[in-house]
Amino acid sequence: MAEQHYDFFASVIKSFDKAAKFTKWEQGLLEQIKACNSIYSMRFPVKMDDGRIEVIEAYRVQHSHHKSPCKGGIRFSDEVNQDEVMALAALMTYKCAIVNVPFGGGKGGIKINPKKYSVYELEKITRRYTSELVKKNFIGPGIDVPAPDYGTGAREMAWIVDTYTSLKPGEIDAAGCVTGKPVTQGGVRGRTEATGLGVFYGLREVCNMVEVMKRLNLPIGVEGKKVVVQGLGNVGYHSAIFFQRAGAKIVALAEYEGSIYSEEGLDVDAVFNHRKSTGSILNFPGAKNFNKNTDALEMECDILIPAALENVINGENAPRVKAKIIGEAANGPLTPEADEIFIKKGTLVVPDMYLNAGGVTVSYFEWLKNLSHVRYGRMEKRFTENLNTHILGQIESLTGKNVEQKERAFIMHGPEEADLVHSGLEETMITATREIMDYWHSNNEIPDMRTAAYVVAINKVGTSYAELGIFP
Ligand code: NAD
């Protein structure tokens, strides 16, 4: 495990170099794009509930200062080390560039297993970490903005914003020092489902591309497509729900304990509730059980969405994967060997680097909300509803007909915060999908969509550096 983490940054560099060949940037500029700009490795003491003092190992890496602030989650995990944080920070730079989120990449990590600490101990660790970041000017709405990641959530983000605010009294934009906060602490509505919804929007756009569907020998659109999802957590559950609502058939779902299959399609909420009450996805009425969670990956389907762990599709099982499209909802679910096999098989792999960027996109919206100090929709909701009511009245009086009640409610509805956040996310994912596809199709030598995504990212960061000029 440790060895794999040690290689993580090197593997990001390898993918970068593979894509950089398709760009025009001089070597020096490419080196600057690749390098981690600032690395803060820290150790601090925390007194535990039993009176013992423990020295905590933690990191914050700012991979790229080509835009400010830097942005990226903080993870709490036993596996955290500098190499891993550097690699994840670099991926954030490229992810933000692709979805036009104007941030440099960052990432933080605290080397602890949160399950082994009391809530009070976790709070002390999080608050001390935040004050260490403040001391070195490594956090702030215009400097570096963390977010939740593995092992952290809204609770930790609330501790961070509270610590930051207390150390920076009077800083008017302080709430923008971190995203993923509870709504009551300046968070934004629509964040919870953002990554799964982004996965859906990205894949829906792919399914609407006539040429792409023709090449894969699939009909246009999402409706009727057979979908398999691995992992029913935040990302997997929401991806599955949005596909189901759009008329796709969720034929198989996999969780830790196994997989289930139904030719007629599974009801995602019913499966979710079944697992909640029985503790297992297995034995869902009308579905066939499979003991291995990896069985689902090899089932007959049009779209496969791995949304659980990294490296689940590799050189060993990739030849048996039957899906025509793989949407990487998880980070790194395919190994480089699997990539090579899918290129040969003609399977379309829609890459994680942008497909799961819904979280950071909506984090960007949260940050904008914090800087503007007003909830999305507050200024225009009532105005839009009044205007729409007026237009509808005019239409009805001119035509002498009444619009049916359901349509009336839809037309008159003024945007709530979640509506605007979802709409901004939809626009972001559609634009990013088209940009990457267009780039890929414009150059026959680019082997896959992943490399095309890297090229798009490198070009954007490269342009940003080139326009800034390098300080003499
Ligand atoms: P989560 O913990 O909510 O869900 C993961 C789910 O996968 C859990 O239900 C777990 O039981 C299940 N699982 C674990 N091992 C499995 C296996 N072998 N087979 C089937 N299911 C298994 O996590 P999440 O937030 O949904 O994240 C999932 C992936 O998406 C991760 O790779 C994460 O890095 C990535 N991601 C998440 C976000 C986000 O906003 N949450 C954003 C970008 C990327």
User: For residue 55, what is the domain's CATH number?
Assistant: 3.40.50.10860
Buried b (16+ CB within 10 A) or exposed e, 343-364: eeeebbbbbbbbbbbbbbbbbb
> For the chain, how long is the longest CA-to-CA vector?
79
201 and 344 together in one domain: yes
Indicate which CATH number applies to the domain containing 281. Answer: 3.40.50.720
Ligand 1 atom at shortest distance from the alpha carbon of 309? 32
| Residues 202 and 350: beta-carbon distance below 8 Å | yes
| pLDDT range class, residue 200, cuts 50, 70, 90 | very high
Ligand 1 atom at shortest distance from the alpha carbon of 308? 7
Q: Judge whether residue 210 has pLDDT over 50.
A: yes
266 and 348 together in one domain: yes
Taking CA atoms only, the protein residue closest to ligand 1 atom 2 is 233
159 and 204 together in one domain: no
| Residues 34 and 78: beta-carbon distance below 8 Å | no
Q: Copy the structure tokens of residue 209.
A: 């591309």
Q: How many residues does the chain have?
A: 472
pLDDT value at position 2?
40
Nearest partner of 165 among 178, 157, 156, 175, judged by Cα: 175
Quick check: is 23 in a domain? no
Distance 236 CA to ligand 1 centre (A): 7
Ligand 1 atom at shortest distance from the alpha carbon of 359? 40
Taking CA atoms only, the protein residue closest to ligand 1 atom 16 is 256
**Which conformational region is residue 286 in: left (phi greater than 0), alpha (psi within -120 to 50 degrees), or beta?**
left
| Alpha-carbon span 197 to 361, nearest angstrom | 11
Question: What is the rounded average pLDDT of the residues 212-235?
Answer: 97
Q: For 374-427, how does the pLDDT look when each residue is reduced to its tens digit (9 = 90+)?
A: 999 999 999 999 999 999 999 999 999 999 999 999 999 999 999 999 999 999
| pLDDT range class, residue 467, cuts 50, 70, 90 | confident
Q: Copy the structure tokens of residue 50.
A: 């039993």
Domain boundary among 355, 382, 399: 355
343 and 204 together in one domain: yes
Quick check: is 3 in a domain? no
Quick check: is 31 in a domain? no
Nearest partner of 89 among 8, 175, 6, judged by Cα: 8
Contacts (Cβ under 8 Å, ≥6 apart) of 291: 258
Distance 75 CA to ligand 1 centre (A): 14
Taking CA atoms only, the protein residue closest to ligand 1 atom 28 is 308
Q: Judge whether residue 61 has pLDDT over 90.
A: yes
Looking at the 3D structure of the chain, how many domains does it have?
Answer: 3
411 and 320 together in one domain: no
- Of the residues 67, 71, 95, 107, which is catalytic? 107
Phi first, then psi: give them for residue 388, nearest 5 degrees.
-65, -40
pLDDT value at position 470?
65
Taking CA atoms only, the protein residue closest to ligand 1 atom 12 is 231
Distance 264 CA to ligand 1 centre (A): 26
| Residues 255 and 281: beta-carbon distance below 8 Å | yes
Q: Copy the structure tokens of residue 122.
A: 């976790």
Q: Judge whether residue 4 has pLDDT over 80.
A: no
Amino acid letter, residue 368: L
Nearest partner of 191 among 205, 181, 199, judged by Cα: 181
Amino acid letter, residue 121: E
Distances (CA, A) of 382 to 63, 393, 412: 43, 16, 10
Task: Give SS3 for 264.
Answer: coil
Task: Give SS3 for 470.
Answer: coil
Quick check: is 25 in a domain? no
Ligand 1 atom at shortest distance from the alpha carbon of 333? 32
Q: Which of 229, 234, 291 to mutate to test the pocket of ligand 1 (most atoms within 8 A of CB)?
A: 234
Distance 282 CA to ligand 1 centre (A): 19
346 and 427 together in one domain: no
Nearest partner of 364 among 164, 67, 136, 134, judged by Cα: 67
Taking CA atoms only, the protein residue closest to ligand 1 atom 22 is 256
Quick check: is 336 in a domain? yes
Domain boundary among 158, 185, 212: 185
Average pLDDT, the chain: 95
Quick check: is 294 in a domain? yes
Quick check: is 57 in a domain? yes
Question: What is the rounded average pLDDT of the residues 252-281?
Answer: 97
Domain boundary among 185, 212, 235: 185
Q: Judge whether residue 1 has pLDDT over 60.
A: no
pLDDT value at position 468?
77
With a Cβ cut-off of 6 Å, ligand 1 is lined by: 195, 230-236, 254-256, 293, 307-309, 329-331, 356, 359
Handedness of CA 438, 444, 449, 451 (dihedral sign): negative
Q: Which of 79, 232, 235 to mutate to test the pocket of ligand 1 (most atoms within 8 A of CB)?
A: 235
| Alpha-carbon span 379 to 187, nearest angstrom | 18
Q: Judge whether residue 3 has pLDDT over 80.
A: no
Quick check: is 26 in a domain? no
For residue 107, indicate whether it is catalytic.
yes
278 and 373 together in one domain: no
Distance 371 CA to ligand 1 centre (A): 31
Question: What is the rounded average pLDDT of the residues 197-226?
Answer: 98
| Residues 55 and 45: beta-carbon distance below 8 Å | yes
68 and 172 together in one domain: yes
Q: Judge whether residue 472 has pLDDT over 60.
A: no
Question: What is the rounded average pLDDT of the residues 84-102?
Answer: 96
Q: Judge whether residue 471 has pLDDT over 80.
A: no
Q: Which of 96, 179, 195, 311 to mutate to test the pocket of ligand 1 (most atoms within 8 A of CB)?
A: 195
Q: For 312-368, how does the pLDDT look when each residue is reduced to its tens digit (9 = 90+)?
A: 999 999 999 999 999 999 988 999 999 999 999 999 999 999 999 999 999 999 999
335 and 401 together in one domain: no
Q: Copy the structure tokens of residue 1.
A: 């495990």
215 and 339 together in one domain: yes
pLDDT value at position 8?
85
Task: Note down the domain range covering 446.
Answer: 358-468
88 and 162 together in one domain: yes
Distance 445 CA to ligand 1 centre (A): 33
Q: Judge whether residue 170 has pLDDT over 60.
A: yes
| pLDDT range class, residue 369, cuts 50, 70, 90 | very high
| Alpha-carbon span 229 to 208, nearest angstrom | 20
Distance 154 CA to ligand 1 centre (A): 17
Share of the chain above pLDDT 90, in %: 94
301 and 429 together in one domain: no
Question: What is the rounded average pLDDT of the residues 222-236?
Answer: 97
Q: Which of 256, 257, 290, 305 to mutate to test the pocket of ligand 1 (most atoms within 8 A of CB)?
A: 256
pLDDT value at position 310?
86
